Structure 1
């Protein structure tokens, strides 16, 4: 049975993201505010975007070209992102915690022509660019020997040649399993999701948003950056998360809406620093990227004296498909709310393949990706011929259309909102000379956070201990992918077909 959004469909204009966000005449209203209080007006941002587009165009960057963006949140990040799109090119945004090898994989796989970074990340960026065969690195700030992206010579931005159906961004996601893959999101996908989410995330003349979330992540990219630009409300940028800094910025700029992931909700509920801060301006906290416990949600709402809402999505959906509307305080904050306008859903029994009252959530809509880059096998495993995206999450739905995520089919681990693909860590562990076999699953720690746990079979005679295993992995992956727990086994439990019995390991791992 197809379950449609209770909200009427919205008209999605046949325009690019550039046209949607920068089509109107610029004004002197604030668009971006950096941590020091420097204000970038809409006019200044528009000028910077056009200057970057002109410089890239003069360098031969245009339609079909991919540019890597590897930098922390800043007004410069926003200008670079939209300058690349204004040059008719494609952005592949990378996690600033990536190692050189991880970044090189993304740059090579996406066939990036240029890399944009900051002085503080040049060591990793340079090593990755060399591995990926990229000859030029541009920067957002001053770095000796490198040109700033906004100071490239160029006469004028090129004509807008990209169309709504052209690729706009290539974020990388592990999807339901495996190594990170390029998610092909078009201008239409992003335009649709900005407009769809606007029904749930209403703004006013007093709205101020804070970019706590990284803008390289599709959640921050759509729900913070592009949503703020579309709604013409100021966005305060944070280069990296720290609770004390976040609280100071909320106080200073009277932030009204906080878009966060569950680990930040836990800090807001428990940290003594919150008692010392004036958070009276906060009207709404919205959580996404991983499941938020209902009791934790209510604790945050009580402590801050604000409303709290939750949403659901994934990179492959640009990313939001479900959310609790701001004007529905009656909805349980442990749920993920309603399907967004223009979104259709099914709940499918993963065993029988039939529609069910409790089943894998399938989603179809204009925000759903066109596929994984150069990976038809992974695309076919996730998208069917009728456009249904298999999310890998088990959901239920009420008679009123309120969805709740209750379990997971997929193997992907969500650590503090970041994706950790078990297969990548397992491949790394199996490369260790003292490890015969390994499996990685997500287990809950003392605070209810999902963390990667490795089950390891030692090579006969090896004296490998847990600390050595964790150190080995930590030296080769981004911090969010580190193995946090280790247990040694005589054998990894597997099915007759050789598949790891992850449910068995998860159950054992929690004991």
Structure 2
């Protein structure tokens, strides 16, 4: 290995995390050195008033309970702490008592996490057994968090502020962050510095104004180089002008605060992890007793969404347990059919064969 490796920060790949992207199939996201450093600088920008995510090296202690193979854990937590010289306590996984002991014993001051952990902190009785008085902020990302849970969390931990952020693997990841000391219920924040965004009508592609729903499009130095060996997917996600089409429906207010509405994408978000319905459907169709199948996400207060399957039987004696066990043996734990299985006579589809998931969400077992 050469002692001094020459790189082009704008072109050479620093990390290659995988995202399900807009088509629901795994794709390697090419993030350059420039992408990552730009986003870290955007996060810590001290010139923003109020500041974004500028930490105090001598005072702060964060806990790293999110996996570092996930873009949130890797960049927002690990890289930010390394860049700013802040102490970081790492744990191998989220286990309630071990997590609370670490927060108490290591005097953690900020928790950067996902909604299921925030729900735990807001509701679980075991939390009252620990001294969490040094926590001054809980920050949530990876999935939207409801106002009711947010208020319960703030009240229980006696923290003055709770912030949310929004991002994607394809944006290194942060696009928006709530302002420190400014609580806007339901909002996932304002744009980080040097980022442009527009909200466009999904039918016409025209930009819409404050208060109107549309797809969020992003332009900035944190936008990925593209998908590895997949120029078609890259072209469908980043337009010729460099705007990244997020597939998320949002709205914004006159003050520049953004709010989640829905997703154009069909991805299911379970505890911050992306679950592609297409992947689970492919697994289901491999079962000898399944004729047809479709998967949707069921809303869940703790997990965000739970994958649920609708199955057309090929043989009469196939059971729900047969299906769930079959899938569990072939997928990662967070992709299991925790929402259950419903047996139906047919899967509703368009004439072109696309699954009508909105009709499935209205169906009752």
TM-score range, shorter chain: over 0.9
Q: Is the 8 A contact 1:456 1:486 kept in 2?
A: yes
Deviation string 1:259-306 (CA, Å, 9 cap, x unpaired) is 010000110011111100000110010000011111101111111111
Q: Aligned pair 1:239/2:85, yes or no?
A: no
Shift in Å at residue 446 of structure 1? 6.3
Q: Secondary structure at the match of 1:241?
A: coil
Shift in Å at residue 415 of structure 1? 0.3
Q: Secondary structure at the match of 1:441?
A: strand
What is residue 325 of structure 1 aligned with on the other side? Answer: 179
What is residue 49 of structure 2 aligned with on the other side? Answer: none
Q: Aligned pair 1:223/2:68, yes or no?
A: no
What is residue 471 of structure 1 aligned with on the other side? Answer: 325
Distance 1:285 1:180, change over 3 A: same
What is residue 163 of structure 1 aligned with on the other side? Answer: 8
| Separation in structure 1 between the aligned mates of residue 327 and residue 261 of structure 2, nearest angstrom | 30
| Separation in structure 2 between the aligned mates of residue 363 and residue 392 of structure 1, nearest angstrom | 11
Q: Secondary structure at the match of 1:379?
A: helix
| Separation in structure 2 between the aligned mates of residue 505 and residue 212 of structure 1, nearest angstrom | 35
Deviation string 1:30-65 (CA, Å, 9 cap, x unpaired) is xxxxxxxxxxxxxxxxxxxxxxxxxxx3xxxxxxxx
Q: Secondary structure at the match of 2:363?
A: helix
Shift in Å at residue 370 of structure 1? 1.1
TM-score (norm 1): 0.67
Q: Secondary structure at the match of 1:265?
A: helix
Shift in Å at residue 174 of structure 1? 0.1
Q: Aligned pair 1:189/2:35, yes or no?
A: yes
Structure in which a larger fraction of residues adopt helix:
1
Shift in Å at residue 440 of structure 1? 0.5
Deviation string 1:477-509 (CA, Å, 9 cap, x unpaired) is 110000121111111100111111011112226
Shift in Å at residue 448 of structure 1? 6.9
Q: Is the 8 A contact 1:441 1:454 kept in 2?
A: yes
Q: Is the 8 A contact 1:258 1:282 kept in 2?
A: yes
**Equivalent in 298, 304, 311 of residue 456 of structure 1:** 311
| Separation in structure 1 between the aligned mates of residue 148 and residue 5 of structure 2, nearest angstrom | 49
Shift in Å at residue 453 of structure 1? 0.6
| Separation in structure 1 between the aligned mates of residue 154 and residue 302 of structure 2, nearest angstrom | 19
What is residue 118 of structure 2 aligned with on the other side? Answer: 265
Deviation string 1:69-124 (CA, Å, 9 cap, x unpaired) is xxxxxxxxxxxxxxxxxxxxxxxxxxxxxxxxxxxxxxxxxxxxxxxxxxxxxxxx
**Equivalent in 289, 308, 312 of residue 142 of structure 2:** 289
What is residue 176 of structure 1 aligned with on the other side? Answer: 22
| Separation in structure 1 between the aligned mates of residue 77 and residue 300 of structure 2, nearest angstrom | 29
Shift in Å at residue 456 of structure 1? 0.5
The correspondence of residues 336-351 of structure 1 with structure 2, limited to 5 A, is 336-351=188-203
Deviation string 1:380-432 (CA, Å, 9 cap, x unpaired) is 11111111111111000001100001111100000010010010000111111
Shift in Å at residue 355 of structure 1? 1.6
Aligned-residue CA RMSD in angstroms? 1.3
What is residue 247 of structure 2 aligned with on the other side? Answer: 392
| Separation in structure 1 between the aligned mates of residue 225 and residue 129 of structure 2, nearest angstrom | 47
Deviation string 1:245-272 (CA, Å, 9 cap, x unpaired) is 1111111111101001000011001111
How many correspondences in the alignment? Answer: 352
Deviation string 1:110-145 (CA, Å, 9 cap, x unpaired) is xxxxxxxxxxxxxxxxxxxxxxxxxxxxxxxxxxxx
| Separation in structure 2 between the aligned mates of residue 446 and residue 404 of structure 1, nearest angstrom | 18
What is residue 355 of structure 1 aligned with on the other side? Answer: 207
Q: Is the 8 A contact 2:140 2:165 kept in 1?
A: yes
Stretches of structure 1 lacking an aligned partner (at least 5 in a row):
1-56, 58-156
| Separation in structure 1 between the aligned mates of residue 223 and residue 304 of structure 2, nearest angstrom | 28
Q: Secondary structure at the match of 2:266?
A: coil
| Separation in structure 2 between the aligned mates of residue 298 and residue 201 of structure 1, nearest angstrom | 21
What is residue 138 of structure 1 aligned with on the other side? Answer: none
Q: Is the 8 A contact 1:211 1:224 kept in 2?
A: yes
Q: Secondary structure at the match of 1:437?
A: strand
Q: Aligned pair 1:407/2:262, yes or no?
A: yes
What is residue 498 of structure 1 aligned with on the other side? Answer: 353
Q: Aligned pair 1:376/2:231, yes or no?
A: yes
Moved more, 462-471 or 444-453: 444-453
Q: Aligned pair 1:316/2:161, yes or no?
A: no
Q: Aligned pair 1:209/2:59, yes or no?
A: no
Stretches of structure 2 lacking an aligned partner (at least 5 in a row):
46-51
Shift in Å at residue 202 of structure 1? 2.1
Q: Is the 8 A contact 1:202 1:326 kept in 2?
A: no
